[in-house]
Amino acid sequence: MQIPRWLLWLILLLLPLAFFVNLGLQPFIDDEGNRSVVALEMLWSGNYIVPTIHGAFYYNKPPLWNWVLAASFWLHGGASEWAARVPSVLALLGFAATIYYTFRQHFSAERALLGALIFLTCGRIIFWESLLGLIDISFSWAMFGLFLVVYHFGQRGQWRQLFLWSYLLMVVGFMFKGLPAFVFQGLTLVTYLVARGQWKRLFSVAHIGSGLLAVGLLALYYAAYHQYNSLDHVFQALFEQSGKRTAAAYGIGETLRHLVSFPGEVFYHFLPWTLPALLLVKKTYRQRLRDQPFVQYCLLILAVNSMVYWLSPNFHPRYILMLVPLGVAALVQLLPDEAGTDRLLLVLRGLFGLLIVLTIGVSAGSFFHPDVQAIPWLWLKSGGITMSLLILGYIYYRHPAQQWFLVVAVLLVFRLGFDLLVPPARAAESNGNRLRELATNFGHRWQDRQLTIFRDGHMEPTNSFYVENAMGHVLPRTTNGLQVGQLYLYHPDQYDRRLFGPAVDSLPVRHTYSDYIYVAPLLDNDSLSIEQATLQPPAGF
């Protein structure tokens, strides 16, 4: 296994280009809108303890990611898609650097580097998660750090440091995403200590003291939170957020279907680097995994923690990003140093070769796609990417010893081609861009006029962000003290239109039955109370 200097420098050059070019062009998805509007309201209110959305308490997640976004918005001089996504990409690169540093203690420099690059170029990461400003990469980075400190301090017999640092990372994870951090900490600690025959240390002063320190740190935050709002709804919401993904919420039928489909989903989402699992059919390759204690630990922790999501029907691949490097460690150990003539290796080389051919075909075909014809310098961008892929494909054919790093380079070049063509096309033509523009214009129209959301009226998260960002202040909800004649923003799927007069403005939506929500004055309707006028909201509210 080798990487020539020219290829190393090419990959290092491609990394920032692939992950940052046109990062802010595409409109937010809903989860990005949620996190960003909460961060905006923190900046406006100056209250960083209590998350809010439309001025109402927001319970779904602790505030650490909102703090990160608020800091990014402040540093960038305003909120935008770019400012919301840069922290996620920086966390991704930091995550990869952590993988390299850790793997370097157990593998050669080339294998450690390959492990970090494999993580960055998994299909789910390079073509999805790295494009979005979501919590999961940062949360997963903290949880992977938790797995590492348990192993490395445990192998040295440094139990105090093991408990202290793992619980501190658990606190960081909790402040990102809530209760899943407790699950990872509990399963990892118990599994490792039992496997080492050290389970009695669960009752040690070091363990109990570290656990109490973690509880104390979280208690400090919630004591500050309690100065503004009751804690009752906070913990109820955290349990609901975790419980809604489990078998208890979905029933036996859906759970059984997920049990069957889960391995295939994971294999698909993390292609092409799940393909080398083919080598496991041969005993000599399986034996390689048994020869490395760190790899054995990674596989054990991977098996135990993945069961949580294998048993949870409401599964998204981003929930297991912290487990991916554990599998990558096994992959790095599995791959032989030389290309070889083993039949399985030849099949694997052929599969990756086919992947390169497909990337060349897609890149060349993109020149003729109607959605990209308006992109400036299309011939140069598409032609340059295609030619680069052809050159790398030729080198892949001629130099088998460099094949794995060449596949990484191909994937990074292909991602750069994606950046140059797909986001500009989507930003110009997509429905999401239309909704962003209309929501922004709506916010500008109402920034100096009195407007509130009627009671529990549903607002799509992307609309919430674009409207409030354009208004420059919170668009609040009014639950009590409703006034006849006052203008309210209401959702016709939730409230009978007879409560309101003629609409004076509207805002488009995309995820509910109605195409628009409306601004209209509240009427004095004696024959229809608000309770009678509250309709059954559609699924997904």
Nearest-angstrom CA–CA distance, 126 and 470: 31
What value does the CA radius of gyration of the chain take, rounded to a whole number of Å? 26
Q: At what angle do helices 343-366 and 378-398 cross, to 10 degrees?
A: 170
Q: How many CB atoms lie within 10 A of CB 4?
A: 13
Cis bond upstream, residue 272 (ω within 30): yes
**Domain check: are 440 and 529 in the same one?**
yes
Q: Are residues 227 and 141 in the same domain?
A: yes
- Which region among 300-309, 388-397, 486-495, 505-514 has the lowest average model confidence (pLDDT)? 505-514
Count the domains in the chain: 3
Residues 204 and 148 in one domain: yes
Q: Residue 529 has what pLDDT?
A: 78
User: Which pairs from 276-283 meet CB under 8 Å and 24+ separation?
Assistant: 276/331, 276/334, 276/335, 276/348, 278/344, 278/347, 278/348, 279/334, 279/335, 279/344, 279/345, 279/348, 280/334, 281/344, 282/342, 282/344
Token reading at 29: 């998805």
Question: What would the pLDDT profile of 113-124 be if each residue is shown by its tens digit?
Answer: 999 999 999 999
> Is 24 part of a structural domain of the chain?
no
Judge whether 273 and 350 are in contact, CB under 8 Å.
no
Pairing of strands 487-490, 452-454: parallel
3-state SS, one letter per residue, for 298-360: HHHHHHHHHHHHHCCCCCCHHHHHHHHHHHHHHHHHHCCCCCCCCHHHHHHHHHHHHHHHHHH
473 lies in the same domain as 424 = no
For 158, the token pair is: 């440094």
- Does 514 share its domain with 425? no
Cα gap 267→265, rounded to integer Å: 5
Q: What is the model's pLDDT at position 232? A: 83
Predicted local distance difference test score (pLDDT) of residue 286: 86
Query: Within the chain, what is the greatest distance between any pair of CA atoms?
Result: 85
C-alpha span between 96 and 93 (Å, rounded): 5
How far apart, in whole angstroms, are the C-alpha atoms of residue 93 and residue 352?
25
Shared-domain flag, residues 439 and 481 = yes
Q: How far apart are CA 391 and CA 356, in angstroms?
A: 11
Of 34, 16, 245, nearest in space to 133 by CA: 34
Mean pLDDT of the chain: 91
| Residue linked to tokens 């290829």 | 7
Provide the pLDDT for residue 270.
Answer: 96
Angle at 411 between CA 407 and CA 417, to 5 degrees: 145
pLDDT at 537 over 70: no
Q: SS3 of 454, please?
A: strand
Of the candidates 108, 142, 147, the one whose C-alpha atom is nearest the C-alpha of residue 332 is: 108
- Closest C-alpha to 414, from 396, 452, 388: 388
Task: For 217-249, write each residue's pLDDT tens digit.
Answer: 999 999 999 999 988 888 787 777 666 556 555
CA dist., res. 353 & res. 397, Å (int): 8
- Residue 384 one-letter amino acid: G
Q: 399 and 491: one domain?
A: no
Per residue in 155-184, pLDDT (tens digit) is 999 999 999 999 999 999 999 999 999 999
Are residue 475 and residue 426 in the same domain, yes or no?
no
What does the H/E/C string look like for 372-435?
HCCCCCHHHHHHHHHHHHHHHHHHHHHCHHHHHHHHHHHHHHHHHHHHHHHHHHHHHHCHHHHH
Residues 423 and 442 grouped into a single domain: no
DSSP state of 377: T
- Smallest CA-to-CA distance from 409 within 117, 109, 96, 1 is with 117
**Sequence-separated (6 or more) residues with CB below 8 Å from residue 62:** 174, 175, 176, 177, 178, 221
- Position 515 confidence tier, pLDDT thresholds 50, 70, 90: confident
Query: Is residue 380 included in any domain, yes or no?
Result: yes
Same domain, yes or no, for 440 and 526? yes
Per-residue pLDDT of 337-364, as tens digits, reads 776 678 888 899 999 999 999 999 999 9
Q: What tokens were used for 273?
A: 């680097």
Whole-angstrom Cα distance, residue 505 to residue 137?
39
Q: Identify the domain containing residue 404 by its residue range.
A: 343-431
Please state, in angstroms and rounded to a whole number, the distance separating the CA atoms of residues 494 and 456. 9
Tens of pLDDT, residues 71-91: 999 999 999 999 999 999 999
Helical segments of 447-528, H only: 461-471
Q: Which of 116-120, 319-323, 356-360, 376-380 has the lowest mean pLDDT?
A: 376-380
161 and 196 share a domain? yes
Domain boundary among 431, 457, 480: 431
The residue out of 380, 403, 431 marking a domain boundary is 431
Span between the terminal Cα atoms of the chain, in Å: 52
pLDDT at residue 318 tops 70: yes
Phi, psi (deg, nearest 5) at residue 339: -60, -45
Question: What is the spatial distance between Cα 371 and Cα 211, in angstroms, rounded to a whole number?
Answer: 55
Pair 438, 404 in one domain? no
- Give the separation between CA 66 and CA 491, rounded to whole angstroms: 27
Say how far apart CA 492 and CA 536 lie, in whole Å.
11
Q: Identify the pLDDT of residue 539.
A: 53
What's the token pair of residue 92?
A: 């991704």
- Strands 505-508 and 516-521: what pairing? antiparallel
Does 237 map to a domain?
A: no
| Residue 510 covered by a domain | yes
Residue 197 confidence (pLDDT) above 90: yes
Residue 29, domain member (yes or no): no
Task: Name beta bridge partners: 52.
Answer: 57
Residue 372 has pLDDT above 70, yes or no: yes
Nearest to 453 by CA among 534, 524, 520, 540: 520
Percent of the chain with pLDDT over 90: 73
Strands 56-57 vs 505-508: parallel, antiparallel or unpaired = unpaired
Provide the pLDDT confidence category of residue 541 given band limits of 50, 70 and 90.
low
What are the strands of the beta sheet with 516-521, ordered from one edge?
477-478, 452-454, 487-490, 516-521, 505-508
Q: Which of 397, 431, 465 is the last residue of a domain?
A: 431
Q: Does 303 fall in a domain?
A: no
**Domain annotation covers residue 270:** no
State mean pLDDT over 5-29. Answer: 95
Q: Is residue 322 part of a domain?
A: no
Q: How far apart are CA 181 and CA 169, in angstroms?
A: 9
